[in-house]
Chains A and B, each alone.
Chain A
Amino acid sequence: MSEEILAPEFFKPLERENAAADQLRRRPLSFWQDVWIRLRRNRIATCGLYLLITLFLFALVGPFLSSHSYHETNLVLKNHPPSLRFWFGTDDLGRDLFTRTCWGARISLFVGITAALVDMAIGVLWGGVAALLGGKADQLLMRVADILYAIPYLLVVIMLMVVVGTGLFPIIIALTLTGWISMARIVRGQLLQLKELEYIQAAIALGSGKARILRKHLLPNAMGPIIIAMTFTIPTAIFTEAFLSFLGLGVQAPMASWGTMASDGLSALRYYPWRLFFPACFISVTMLAFNLLGDGLRDALDPRLRK
C-alpha cells in the first residue's frame, strides 16, 4: 500500500452513474438458445447430430446421386461386391444396394418420425387430460393405459397385419398403438409436477382459465422431457419397423426397407457379406445417433446442470 493513496483527493465521494445497482449482467438468452449452446458444448451429442444430418441428406439426396433405381433388376450383374459402378454392391436380383439403402433410409426416417409425432399427439392429449382433471378421471385414464400396455404388442401387430394387410401404413398404425403410452405417462408426470409450482397458482390467481394455463404455462415447460422422449421413440420405431420387415411383416418387395434388405442379406452372409453389412450398419448407426442426441438433449435441458 503506497502512500499516494492517502492523498486527500482520493477521499472525496465517488461519483457514479445512476441505477448501477440493478443492472443485469448476462446477455439475454431465450430458453432454447441456452439449450442449443449447452448441446453444442457436448461433443458426443454434436457427433450424433451431425450423423443424423448426414443421414437425412443421404435419404433425401442419395437416390439422385446414383444413376440406378432401387427396383431395376439385372440378373447378369447379381451379387457384385462394392465397386465404382455399384457403390454398395448389388443383391441377388442385381439391384443397386446403394440406392436401395437410401430408400431404406427414407422409409426408416419416415416411419420413425411419423410414429413419434403420432405418439406425442395422443400421449400429450391423454396424459394432459389425466393430469388436469385429476382424481377419478385421472385414475381411470391411467389404468386403461396400463391395461393396454400389458398387451404384447407383437400379437397386436400380427393380428393387425392379418386384418389390414402388410405394408408401410399398417406398420405405423401398429407402432403407434402402444407407443403413446409411455409418452402419456411422461406428460402426466411432468404436468403433475408443474401443477404444484407457484407460477401456476399465480396464473390461477390472475383469473386464467384451465385451457390457457395448459397452453401457455404447462405445455411449454413440459416440452423438454417430451422432446427427449420423442428422441428416444424414433430409434425404437425404426428398429421395430426393421424388425417387422425382417420377419416379412413389413414392407413388401420391391420396396427396400433396411429390414427386408437385412433379411435378404442374412441367407447370403457367407458368400456376399456386404448385402447384410450395409443395412445392419445403417440401422445401428442411426439408432446410435438418435440415442447420443437424446442423451445430450437430456443433459442440456436439465436446469440443474446449467453452469
Chain B
Amino acid sequence: MTQKPLLSLQNVSKQFPIGKKVLTAVDGFSLDIYPGETVGLVGESGSGKSTVGRLSLYLQKPTTGSVLFDGFDLSLLSSREIRKMRRRFQMIFQDPYASLNPRMTVQDTIGEAFDIHKLVSKKQREEKIVELLESVGLDQSHLSRFPHEFSGGQRQRIGIARALAVEPGFIVCDEPISALDVSIRAQIINLLKKLQKEKGLTYLFIAHDLSMIKYLSDRVAVMYLGHLVELASSQELYSKPLHPYTQALLASIPIPDPVIEKKRERILLQGEAQNSSNSSVGCPFQHRCPFAQAICKEKKPLFEEVTPGHFAACHFAKNWL
C-alpha cells in the first residue's frame, strides 16, 4: 500500500490499575488502516479488542504509544482541537439499549451532532435529520419518538444515523450486531455495507462472530490477551492461518451444516485465557498452545511479515505455509 494510512496505531499499550495490580488490556499494538477498507478485529473476552476500538477514537488515552489520525498525532492536540477533529471519526456501539439517551427524542439524538458543531441552520436541521433517518431505513414519523419505543434493530439504525450526522470518514463498529436477533443482523450488516459504498467510509469492525467478520472485512486482525497475533487479508486468514490461536479459533466456529460438523477435525484448546501479570516473558499464548516449545516460554515472538501482507507473531509461523 503506497497510500497514507487513515488511522495509525503505533505500539499502543493501555493499562488499567485494578486495586494494587495493573491490568494490561492492550500490549504493544500496531495497526495501520487505509482509506476505504474494512479491517475486522477479532478476539475473545480479555483480548482487548474493545479497548483498541476506544483507543482508536481517543475515547481512552493510550498509556504508551501513539494514535495518529490522518497523520495527526492525537496526543499533541489540545482538547478543543480534538473535539473538532472528532467529526472525522465515530463509533457505533454494541448495546442498542444503552447507546441512546432514553430522555432524548430521535430528533435530538441525531441532531446533537449538528448542535455541538453548529453545522446547519435551524431551518435545515430538520431536513437533514430526516435525510439521515431515511438513509438508514427509518422515516419522518420517527422524529419525536423516544428510544424505548423502538426495537433493537431500529435503535442500532438510529445510532448509525447519529454517527453519520457529522459526515465522518472512519467508523469503528464495536460489536454492532451481537445484541440483535439473528434475522435482523443481516439487515444492519447490509446497511453498513451500503453506506460504506455510498459514502466511501473506512471501517474498523470489532466482533467475535468470525463468520460475519469474514463476510465483511478486507483484512482481519486477531488479538489474544492484548496482543496482536495475526494480520492478513480475509481470504488468507481463513484459508491459511499461521498462528495456532487463529487455527484453534477457526476450528471452533460452528458451521451450519450437519454433514460438515460431524466430520470436522477439532482443535480443542484446553483451559481458559488467563491474564496473569507474569505473562510478559515469552509468548502470551504459551499456556494453551498445543505446539509450545521451549523457546516459546523464553522469548516473545515478534509480529512480522511471513508472506507479503500476512503477519503473525509466532516462532514457528513459517512451518504452516
Residues in A lying within 8 Å of B, measured CB to CB: 19, 22, 24, 26, 28-31, 197-199, 201-209, 212, 216-217, 220-221
Contacts and interface: CB of A to CB of B under 8 A. Distances in A.
A202 B150 contact: no
A209 B91 CA distance: 17
Given A203-B112, A205-B90, A198 B99 contact: yes
A220 B87 CA distance: 25
Contacts of B112: 203, 206, 208, 216
A29 B148 CA distance: 9
A206 B57 contact: no
B144 A28 contact: yes
Nearest to A199: B101
A202 B159 contact: yes
Nearest to B141: A24
Contact of B93 (A30, A31, A198, A217): A198
Contact of A205 (B57, B84, B101): B57
Interface in B127-179: 137-139, 141-142, 144-146, 149-150, 154, 159, 162, 165-166
Contacts of B159: 202
B100 interface: yes
B98 A209 contact: no
A19 B140 CA distance: 13
Q: Which 10 A-B pairs have the closest CB atoms?
A: A207-B86, A198-B99, A207-B83, A198-B93, A198-B98, A199-B101, A220-B103, A197-B98, A206-B113, A205-B91
Contact of A31 (B84, B144, B146): B146
Contacts, number: 79
B94 interface: yes
A205 B116 contact: no
B255 interface: no
A216 B104 contact: yes
Interface residues of B, number: 39
10 contacts: A24-B149, A31-B102, A198-B94, A202-B91, A205-B57, A206-B166, A207-B87, A207-B117, A216-B101, A220-B103
Contacts of B102: 31, 221
A206 B90 contact: yes
Contacts of A204: 59
B56 to A, nearest CB: 11
B152 to A, nearest CB: 13
Contacts of B54: 201
B242 to A, nearest CB: 35
B101 A22 contact: no
B116 A217 contact: no
A17 to B, nearest CB: 14
B304 interface: no
B103 A206 contact: no
Given A22-B138, A198-B94, A206 B116 contact: yes
Contact of A206 (B104, B145, B150, B162): B162
B137 A206 contact: no
Given A28-B146, A31-B102, A207-B117, 16 more contacts: A22-B139, A22-B154, A24-B145, A198-B99, A201-B91, A201-B93, A204-B59, A205-B59, A205-B89, A206-B86, A206-B112, A206-B116, A206-B162, A207-B87, A207-B116, A217-B101
B95 interface: yes
A203 B109 CA distance: 9
A106 B87 CA distance: 54
A198 B138 contact: no
Interface string B61-91: 0000000000000000000000110110111
B20 to A, nearest CB: 17
